[in-house]
Amino acid sequence: MKTSSISKIVIADDHPLFRNALVQTLLASMPRVKFLEASSISELENILMDNDNVDLLLMDLHMPGANGFVGLAHIISNNPQLPVMVISANEELNIVASTKRFGALGFIPKSASVGQIYKAIEAVLLGDIYFPEGLDERCLNSENIEDKLIKLIAELTPKQLEVFNLLSEGLLNKQIAYEQNVTEATVKAHVTAIMRKLDVTNRTKIILIANKVKVYNNFCSDVT
């Protein structure tokens, strides 16, 4: 694999054993590349904030703070120049198609061989895309209400997204303030900004929206 101009790759997955195994696998052909690891969306955002020269992000859909496709869309929205690939154990074509629709440049099944992983990464590093064959065009081209909501949520700031996720878990403002180590007034300000962004009038409607987008594998569920 041609990696002479590649310096940093981020692997975001909440399973440390998988992250370590993937790093060791890639180091075999990328010995000079620095690998950074994240186990949650908040950790990932901190890494990207501190490293403006990341060449590629490999991320799982299931991580703390991800909330289905929200995490993927949020990271891509806030880092538009960063090539992002999804690496997931869920290989259903409707899920793969949704990752492409939300801006990922490639999809690697966790069951892929080492050769397939290298091939996929090299394709994206060379400016191409890499997805399994057979993606349904109806799913690729469709945009339902959940898609629109996810794109709105993706525009939230990192702190607002954290508050959104905590709200979706049923936490009160006082509890969120404790979790984030901020004042309750700060949380209230975030909630107000979230309501404005999502065009709703109360926190109950925020929770309803969160519930709509939580189960990402319902997307394109009519595609067989």
> In the chain, what are the domain boundaries?
8-137, 145-218
What average pLDDT does this structure show over 163-181? 90
Q: Could you tell me if residue 65 is left (phi over 0), alpha (psi between -120 and 50 degrees) or otherwise beta?
A: left
Distances (CA, A) of 157 to 55, 71, 168, 191, 197: 23, 12, 16, 12, 11
Bridge partners, residue 85, by sequence: 58, 106
- For the domain covering 145-218, report its CATH number: 1.10.10.10
Angle at 29 between CA 88 and CA 130, to 5 degrees: 40
Query: pTM to 2 decimals?
Result: 0.81
- Looking at domain 8-137, which CATH architecture does it have? 3-Layer(aba) Sandwich (3.40)
Are the beta carbons of 190 and 163 closer than 8 angstroms? Answer: yes
pLDDT at residue 129 in the model: 94
Measure the N-to-C terminal CA separation of the chain; round to a whole number of Å. 36
Residue range 63-78: average pLDDT? 88
Q: Over 80: is that where the pLDDT of 214 sits?
A: no
Q: Give the tokens for residue 49.
A: 């904030």
Binned at pLDDT 50, 70 and 90, residue 2 comes out as low
Chain mean pLDDT for the chain: 86
Tokens of 117: 């992983």
**Which token pair is 81?**
């120049």
